[in-house]
Amino acid sequence: MSEIVLEAKGLVKTYGDLNAVDNLDLQVFKGEVYSMLGPNGAGKTTTVEILEGLRDPTSGTAKVFGFDVQKDYDKVRSKVGILPQTFEPWDRIRPPEAIAYWAGLFGRKMSKKDIHELLKMVDLAHKDKVGGERLSGGEKRRLGIAMALVGEPELIFLDEPTTGLDPQARRGLWEIIQSLADVGKTVFLTTHYLEEAENLADRVSIMNKGKIIVSGSPEELVNLYGGGTHVVLRGAGEDGAKALEKLGYKSTVHNRDVTAHVPGLMRTKDFMAQINQAGIAYKDFETKRPSLEEVFFNMVGGRMEEGVLKQ
Amino acid sequence: MSRIFSDFKAFGLAYLRSRTGFFFALIFPVILILVFGAIFSQSGAQKINLPVQDLDDSYWSHTYLKFLDKTGAFSIQMIASDVDFDQYIKDELLVLAMQISPGFGTSVSNALNATGPPASIVLKGDPTNSYFSIGQGAATAVASQLAFYGHNVTDVAVVVPQTIGKPQYTFIDFFVPGMIGFTALTTPMFSMSSICSEYRNRGFFKLLGSTPLTKSEWLAAKILWYTVLMLASIAIMYAVGIAVFDAHFTITPMAILLVIVGVFLFTSFGMFLGVFVSNPESASALANAIGFPMMFLSGIFFQVESMPVYLQYIAKALPLTYLAEGLRATMSLGNDVVAATDLVILLVSGIVVFVIAARSMSWKGK
């Protein structure tokens, strides 16, 4: 098993009667992209800030690289990079100056070339004369990621890095996050974008009302909680539907196309083998796999639109 | 040290690029010097707490002092005749004192008989203090009353105003030390309170909390920056004072130490204020609410001894009082003993406020 980089046990954070984080357990392994997915107010940022050592839990423990986040964070601070949800760069400080500043705080010597390379990696090298306040939303986040990488961290927290960005800027950030994963960095990513978690994460935890409801790889979650795959048999007609019923599958007919529902744990390949064996005639077929959206809907009982839970 | 330098450098860059910060730190004090200097370099008007040395001890000197007392404008305290007048002013850090020379009575008699020039009364003071001009006006009015004892005589006695300290000192030599104290308060305290609030609101403290930088290191970087800024400001004030007003004041090592310790204290105090306010505008308002009364109660513009007793107690509790007093003592009067005492008071206060500020502030969320 991979080395555990981050571990929380029985984490609780209360504000009066509100349980912002409710008895949360989690583990993050070295080199994985772990995504915490949930709507606004689910407790993601509170959880992340506890794990970053920037907020104290009411009870429970959390360890990063084996060190308690409340008592010993100083010992691992340089191994952790952080992009807060509300990241803003300093006004009137240009990107290369911001990087040099952060490098100084982490006690790292960076040449102008090193700084240029880092800014190039986040596609900001051409903005070296622009003050922080004049960068676009996406550029600010990219600068934030670059600053988080200055200390050459092994673990990087990215708290909703793409929230509020346009699709193009979001895709650009995905590429950066993917490149971090490619070089073996451990990434803790919070998001309310289902496709972001599905595209980037090795493992996803769906969080709602302070609790983690389910965890697993996107494939596991889809298979277990996505409600199964839909297979469309083109031209199979009413006869095909009846044959499917005999095999125990529910189906619907539309314009002689039959859509069959394949249960979650069953592989599409096995289903098609059964169809062929039963001699069901069809012209063509296509599969419609569920996504994390279905998983989220089935587990939480609502859909998310820009982080807002719609019941 | 490298972390402090990194924070100092980045903060300094941002600071200098802020037009407001640049203006208030380096330009605003100069404008005040030019404006107040132009207005008060040729002033005149009235008032209180007047130590008097009567070296004549004659009928006419007693008469003059009796009239002076009857105006109700002064609280007269007598200085023993065997005391060195100038040294007494220096030791007691007086802003106003009067000396009646031997032969005053004879001169008055001669003037009344039109057989001699008017008698003279020396009034020494700090020309930047409002009481100097008030006192000069009242003393001159009373001196002119002596003419009623003669016939067709207009000038029996005249008041000769002199600045305390070196003879060549003028208004500007007393104004600049006060201005330095004023700037050492306003620049770090006002901006630090706003900065702390802004840093918290914009998440900068959380961001800094994710680095190895400690709160004390962050505060130390700010103190270093404001110290450098203040030294630059002093250099500019000095240059303008000499170029425009032919100033003669000296910037002593003790004055530099006082400024450094003052900046240390007021930067920490600004951070302390910033802990309790929710936004930069509120921080600015709070700093103004505390800073401006402090300026006017600290003896920079008005004589502390002439204030109501309860205000004198408040003044004695204000750190700016000691900074202003120390700067005036070392720069205008050459009294480093008093300045050193003030330095110790400021240093102890600074350490206490620094510790409280650093402990009050949390970079963590709640």
Write down the pLDDT at residue B45.
41
Reported as a pLDDT band with limits 50, 70 and 90, residue B126 is confident
Residue B365 lies in a domain: no
Residue B187 lies in a domain: yes
Residue B43: is its pLDDT beyond 50? no
What is the mean pLDDT of the segment spanning A56-81?
Answer: 93
Is residue B313, in this structure, part of any structural domain at all?
yes
Q: SS3 of A70, please?
A: coil
Residue A245 touches chain B, beta carbons under 8 Å: no
**Which of A5-9, B91-95, B286-290 is modeled with the greatest confidence?**
A5-9
B5/A97 Cβ within 8 A: no
When computed from its CA atoms, the radius of gyration of chain A, rounded to whole angstroms, is 23
CA distance B257 to chain A (A): 29
Asked if B9 lies within 8 A of A106 by C-beta distance, the reply is no
Q: Which residue of B has its CA nearest to A52?
A: B210
Shortest CA gap A62–chain B (Å)? 16
C-alpha distance from A87 to closest chain B C-alpha (Å): 7
pLDDT of residue B20: 63
Q: Do B202 and A52 touch (CB under 8 A)?
A: no
Q: Which of B13, B202, B209 sits opposite A97 (nearest CB)?
A: B13
Same domain as B338, residue B256: yes
Q: What is the mean pLDDT of residues B318-346?
A: 92
Mean pLDDT to the nearest integer, B4-33:
78
- From chain A, the residues in CB contact with B9 under 8 A are 101, 104
Same domain, B117 and B88: yes
State whether B349 and B209 are in the same domain: yes
pLDDT at residue A117 tops 60: yes
Rounded to 5 degrees, what are φ and ψ at B124?
A: -100, 145
**Other C-beta atoms within 10 Å of B48: how many?**
18
| B248 & B154 share domain | no
Sheet with A257-262, strands from edge to edge, namely: A251-254, A257-262, A229-234, A284-288
Residue B71's CATH number: 3.40.1710.10
Instruction: Express each pLDDT in B133-164 by its tens digit.
Output: 888 888 888 888 888 877 666 788 999 988 88
Classify residue B43: in a domain, yes or no: no
CB contact under 8 A, B207 and A82: yes
**Of B94 and B340, which is predicted with more confidence?**
B340
Q: What is the pLDDT of chain B when averaged over all its residues?
A: 85
Q: Are B63 and B188 part of one and the same domain?
A: no
CA atoms within 13 A of residue B7's CA, in its CB half-sphere: 25
Minimal-distance CA residue of chain B relative to A74: B212
- Scanning B16-45 for CB atoms below 8 A from A yields 17-18
Nearest to A233 by CA among A274, A284, A191, A185: A284
Residues B207 and B336 in one domain: yes
**Within this chain, do residues B129 and B177 fall inside the same structural domain, yes or no?**
no
Structural domain harbouring B333? 171-360
**What is the tens place of the pLDDT at every residue in B59-74?**
999 999 999 988 888 8
Cβ within 8 Å, pair B10-A49: no
Mean pLDDT score, A99-121? 94
Which pLDDT value is given to residue B168? 74
Same domain, B198 and B313: yes
The whole-angstrom distance between A77's CA and the closest CA on chain B is: 6
Residue B192 lies in a domain: yes
* A120 at interface of B, judged by CB pairs closer than 8 A: no
Choose the final residue of a domain: B114, B131, B163: B163
Determine the average pLDDT of the residues in B259-263: 96
CB-based contact (8 Å) between B212 and chain A? yes
Is 80 exceeded by the pLDDT of residue B31?
no
Helix, strand, or coil (residue A120): helix
Closest CB from B13, B213, B366 relative to A105: B213
Cα-based distances in Å from B288 to B187, B282, B318: 11, 10, 15
Say yes or no for a CB contact (<8 Å) between A98 and B364.
no
- Mention every residue, 6+ apart, whose C-beta is less than 8 A from residue A20: A13, A14, A43, A46, A210
Angle at the Cα of B308 (from B304 to B310), degrees rounded to 5? 95
Do B59 and B178 fall within a single domain?
no
Q: Is residue B21 part of a domain?
A: no
Q: What is the pLDDT of residue B37?
A: 59
pTM for the predicted model, two decimal places? 0.78
For B209, name the nearest residue in chain A, comparing CA atoms only. A54
Q: CB-based contact (8 Å) between A174 and chain B? A: no
Closest chain A C-alpha to B335 CA, distance in angstroms: 43
Strands (E), chain B: 50-54, 76-79, 96-100, 119-125, 157-163
DSSP bridge partners of A67: A64
Give the residue from B109, B142, B163 where a domain finishes: B163
Nearest chain A residue to B3, by CA: A105
pLDDT at A1 over 70: no
Is A90 within 8 Å of B204 when comparing Cβ atoms? yes
Domain boundary among B163, B179, B209: B163
A220, pLDDT greater than 80: yes
Q: What is the β-pairing status of strands A59-64 and A155-159? A: unpaired
**Domain tally for chain B?**
2
Q: Is residue B126 part of a domain?
A: yes
A97 contacts B204? CB cut-off 8 A? no
B109 and B186 belong to one structural domain: no
Which is it for the CA torsion A222, A223, A226, A229, positive or negative? Answer: positive
Q: Mind telling me how many Å the CA of A83 is from chain B's nearest CA?
A: 8
Q: Is the dihedral of CA A99, A101, A106, A112 positive or negative?
A: positive
For residue A182, the one-letter residue type is: D
The reported pLDDT for the residue numbered A303 is: 81
B156, B218: one domain: no
**Cα–Cα dist A113/A111, whole Å:** 5
Q: Of A182-196, B13-27, B130-144, B220-234, where does mean pLDDT reach its minimum?
A: B13-27
Residue B154 lies in a domain: yes
Please say if the pLDDT value at position B47 is more than 80.
Answer: no
Q: Does B201 contact chain A (CB < 8 Å)?
A: no
Q: Does A90 touch chain B (CB under 8 A)?
A: yes
> What are the residues facing B77 on neighbouring strands?
B51
The residue that leads in pLDDT, B364 or A143, is: A143
Q: How far apart are CA B246 and CA B238, in angstroms?
A: 10
Residues B208 and B338 in one domain: yes
